[in-house]
Structure 1
Amino acid sequence: MEELIAKYLADEMGAEERSKFEEQLLLDEQLSNEVQKTTAAWEISGRTNQPPSLNLNTPQAWEKVAQQTTKQRSLVAEKGRFSFLKIAASIAFIAALGYIGWQNIAQKTTAEQLATVASSGEIKELTLPDGTSVKLNAFSTVSYDEDFGKTNRNISLTGAANFDVVRNESLPFVISTENSEVEVLGTSFEVRAYEAEAVEVNVSSGKVGFRSKKAKGEEQVLEAGEKAVLSADGTKMVRDKVRNKNYAAWWTRELIFENARMSEVARDLEKTYWVKIEVAEDIRDCRISQNVKDKSLDEALEILEATFPSMTISRVKENRIKLDGVGCTH
């Protein structure tokens, strides 16, 4: 673990390894404490000899850490108890001390530095400097540089977010994911772009340009009520009408089922409540018409149970649920 922490602080991790480490850092308070302890130890020992177990060029490591963490923009985060900004703020303070100790001068931050907001297991709401409102889904991250709103409105997204973009015809709003770009002037839409999954864009109002970074072909211009899905490898895009408005249930907290199959109900519940649901073959085609608004997962499952008394619901693990039953085929 010491070697992983050292690699992280020295910015010697690859993109994928760093992403996984930061996700663990968000969820594991003990790990975040260890990171801060290690940083403090570097600061104390930095003027003499570094701990042999770390095997790093300490001045260089400090420089890398300070460049990454000494400046973070403040965002309006209305939800979330524990965020990467809190971790970054703590590390930044200690790292800055060590950096000054080695260099004895102040270094200006540059436009390459990013302001980053990450959510852990819950929804986070924030307002970007241009006034754009963002609802950030669980386990998602957005970042942008210090010139956002001045010379550009470019952000990077990993995960899922709903955007209500303030219109600015001179500065298009551009969202970059691993394999795609979404460009708008001002509108309301949602992007779902979790790692190793297909990218999905759903448009609520206005127009949205959606293009692949890998596939050849023209940009798709999506209008209100339309969606497009780009394959995980970024090579194939499919455009369609929005037929299931439950894509937004993770932040609207409302699920609307109209003669929906149980398999479809389970899929919507999974995306809304961050669980995995296994549906027995005999009840996959059972149909339900029901509105579920402002309900917890347990309350939503109770509604299903009341609708289908012969169905049994069991928790395999905390976040894994099994729906079983008989007599509902076709």
Structure 2
Amino acid sequence: METRIAKYLADEMGKAEREQFEAELLSDEQLSNELQKCAASWEVSSVYTNDSFDSDAAWNKIAPELTIERQLKPEKTNFSFLKIAASIVIVAAAGFFLAKNGGFTIGSDNEPLLVETANQVEEVTLPDGSVVRLNANSSISYDESFGESNRNVTLMGGANFDVQRNENLPFVISTVNSEVEVLGTSFEVRAYENESVEVNVTSGKVGFKSTKAKGEPAVLEAGEKAVLSADGTQMQKGKLKNNNFSAWWTKQLEFENVSLADIAKDLQKTYWVEIEVAESIAKCEATLYVNDQTIDGALDILQATFPAITITKDKENHIKLDGIVCND
């Protein structure tokens, strides 16, 4: 077992051997826990500065860190290695649990656990049972004491949170210039770099404040939203008009007498495309509903609803909407 773990972490396994090992990870809890401890003990800098890797030497380096007796069932750790997502485990061999196009890392004692995405949405269950749906091009991190002495996470990008209630341990989300605090609720945070921070609450209460300006947190209840400017100095609070803010994971959009300009904005956030709307039709209004569609399917519905417009894809992820000026 020891040699196989070392070879797996070093990516020295052949394809067939790696697939067999990963299949065992999904069914053997002791193996997955031991692999987790090995990964946490591995000093990345010393391993990857060499052109070649000696799996025996690597094992000798990490073996003293293991506490599991071979004949005993290992004690469960604060988070489940397999619970994060089996698909992420499969990516692990590509480079010490760090995938360039999405994955997670298990750092040293002083480094947080990181979950990050590229072009996909990931669902993660945290150690306290809270569920996070992580939007594309986003990351969330937390340390080993999460769920015990704190429930603090750091978010870059967008995420939907379904937080387990704990009166004694608030759930705190930190972004570049804001902080969100809850006891237990469902809400969504959008905090991409150099953009305004948006919080939408679907149940419970949320405290939302700027870390760049003085003042008491804004208290948001179910059905309310708040937007903090990119520089963290101004906040606007309002009511939710619909649930389109969550369409990036629900794939459900509803528009009732909404301008094409605003429809385009929601389609951009949902499908990660750029939509250019001609000024002549930007204020034209349409009513349509999109349910579990790709961007092409959503555009087909828009075209059928509004035949007067012309939809053109001139390059990857760039769409143009044009047409004749609509009637008042």
The one-letter code sitting in structure 2 at the alignment partner of 1:322 is K
Check conservation: 1:83, 1:118, Cα contact below 8 A: no
Supply the distance in 2 between the matched residues of 1:85 and 1:132 (Cα, whole angstroms).
Answer: 23
Give the deviation of 1:209 after TM superposition.
0.5
1:238 to 226, 236, 239: 236
Give the deviation of 1:76 after TM superposition.
3.2
| 1:162 aligned partner | 160
- Bigger CA drift: 302-311 or 275-284? 302-311
1:183-227 Cα distance to aligned partner (Å, 9 max, x none):
000000000000111000000000001111111111111100111
The one-letter code sitting in structure 2 at the alignment partner of 1:251 is W
1:217-261 Cα distance to aligned partner (Å, 9 max, x none):
111111001111111011111111112321111111100111111
Supply the distance in 2 between the matched residues of 1:84 and 1:180 (Cα, whole angstroms).
Answer: 32
Gaps of 5+ in 1: 1-37, 48-71, 93-107
| 2:195 aligned partner | 197
Check conservation: 1:203, 1:227, Cα contact below 8 A: yes
- Bigger CA drift: 279-288 or 142-151? 279-288
Check conservation: 2:226, 2:237, Cα contact below 8 A: yes
Gaps of 5+ in 2: 1-44, 55-78, 100-106
1:95-127 Cα distance to aligned partner (Å, 9 max, x none):
xxxxxxxxxxxxx942x3210000110111110
1:140 equivalenced with 2:147 (yes/no):
no
1:2-51 Cα distance to aligned partner (Å, 9 max, x none):
xxxxxxxxxxxxxxxxxxxxxxxxxxxxxxxxxxxx9866235799xxxx
Check conservation: 2:91, 2:97, Cα contact below 8 A: no
Cα 1:176/1:39, change in 2 over 3 Å: same
Check conservation: 1:228, 1:237, Cα contact below 8 A: yes
The one-letter code sitting in structure 1 at the alignment partner of 2:303 is E
Q: Give 1 or 2: higher helix fraction.
A: 1
The one-letter code sitting in structure 1 at the alignment partner of 2:49 is W
Supply the distance in 2 between the matched residues of 1:73 and 1:113 (Cα, whole angstroms).
Answer: 18
Normalising by the residue count of structure 2, what TM-score does the alignment of the two structures yield?
A: 0.71
1:42 equivalenced with 2:49 (yes/no):
yes
- Bigger CA drift: 148-157 or 281-290? 281-290
Supply the distance in 1 between the matched residues of 2:290 and 2:141 (Cα, whole angstroms).
Answer: 33
| 1:184 aligned partner | 182
| 1:95 aligned partner | none
Supply the distance in 1 between the matched residues of 2:254 and 2:217 (Cα, whole angstroms).
Answer: 32
Q: Percent identity?
A: 55
Misfit runs of 4+, over 4 Å: 38-41, 44-47, 77-88
| 2:319 aligned partner | 321
Supply the distance in 2 between the matched residues of 1:266 and 1:154 (Cα, whole angstroms).
Answer: 35
Aligned alpha-carbon RMSD (Å)? 2.7
1:215 equivalenced with 2:213 (yes/no):
yes
| 1:286 aligned partner | 284
Check conservation: 1:314, 1:323, Cα contact below 8 A: yes
Cα 1:221/1:85, change in 2 over 3 Å: farther
Give the deviation of 1:310 after TM superposition.
2.4
Normalising by the residue count of structure 1, what TM-score does the alignment of the two structures yield?
A: 0.71
Q: What secondary structure sits across from 1:186 in the alignment?
A: coil
Q: State the number of aligned residues.
A: 253
Give the deviation of 1:81 after TM superposition.
7.1
Cα 1:120/1:208, change in 2 over 3 Å: same
Supply the distance in 2 between the matched residues of 1:319 and 1:269 (Cα, whole angstroms).
Answer: 12
